Amino acid sequence: MTSVVRPGINDGMVKPMNTSAIATATGRSWESWVQHFDDAGARQMDHPAIAALALELMPESVEQKEWWAQSTAVAFGQYAGLRVPGQTSTGDFQLSTTRTVPGNKDQALQAWLEVVNARTEFGGVPIEGEASTSSTDRWRYWRVALSDGSRVVVNISEKQNGKSAVGLQHSKLDSAEAIQFWRPIWKDLLAKI
């Protein structure tokens, strides 16, 4: 299911699979979500207000209501032209990418460190300070700041069947174009673990 195209609305910015996933998870069509937001004046609201409205409108039967409210608010912001894909509520941009790898979370972190530890830059942008690692019972983390003011976090968790999920988030990017620059760099590095 895709969104209804209306004149003056930036519908092309929302991925149809995103709106379809929202409709499936919430039991409410994307068109119905848009109507609810429009009826409430959401085009004049900031992101936190839209997210609060989405949570208020979220059907009781929905599991993980807060997460789906956030996803629905982001999709509406993109649909209404209030933000573009990858843009955060503060106006900067971020990208996320993931890869499933064999091994437990410690093995996955070690494999990542073998790929990145000797590096002093990524994408031609120098590292600022030193990268750090930390852990909890469920997660392993690697963090680094870059000299352009952006930050990269890798989080690793175990999955079933002896595998781990390695998620990378690059935040505080200055444009949507920066996402297009960085995504292949990070995907290439993740492919090496």
The label of the residue with tokens 């949507």 reads 176
- The two counts, helices (H) then strands (E), for the chain are 6, 6
CATH number at 178 reads 3.30.530.20
106 shares its domain with 173: yes
For residues 157 and 104, state if they share a domain. Answer: yes
Residues 120-175 have pLDDT tens digits of 999 999 999 999 999 999 999 999 999 999 999 999 999 999 999 999 999 999 88
DSSP state letter for 60: T
Is residue 114 assigned to a domain?
A: yes
Residues 24-58 have pLDDT tens digits of: 999 999 999 999 999 999 999 988 899 999 999 99
The pLDDT score that the predictor gives to residue 1 is 34
Position 3 confidence tier, pLDDT thresholds 50, 70, 90 = very low
Report the distance separating Cα 156 and Cα 46, nearest Å.
32
Residues 140, 163, single domain; the answer is: yes
Neighbours of 171 (CB within 10 A): 16
**182 in the same domain as 114:** yes
Are residues 66 and 106 located together in one domain of the fold? no
Q: Answer whether residue 43 is part of any domain.
A: yes
- Which of these three, 25, 45, 79, is where a domain ends? 79
Question: Among residues 79, 106, 133, which one ends one of the domains?
Answer: 79
Residues 151 and 112 in one domain: yes
Backbone phi and psi for residue 142, each to the nearest 5 degrees, phi listed first: -135, 135
CA diameter of the chain: 54
The token pair that represents 76 in the structure block = 């509406």
The pTM of the full predicted model, rounded to 2 decimals, is: 0.64
Residue 40 lies in a domain: yes
pLDDT at 15: 55
Domain that holds residue 59: 11-79
Angstrom distance (rounded) from CA 10 to CA 12? 6
Count of structural domains within the chain: 2
- The DSSP code sequence of 153-188 is EEEEEE-STTEEEEEEEEEEES-HHHHHHHHHHHHH
Residues in CB range of 64: below 8 A, 6 or more apart: none
Whether 97 and 181 map to the same domain: the answer is: yes
Given 20, 47, 79, the domain boundary residue is: 79
How many CA atoms does the CB half-sphere of 30 hold within 13 Å?
Answer: 23
Q: Which amino acid is at 5?
A: V
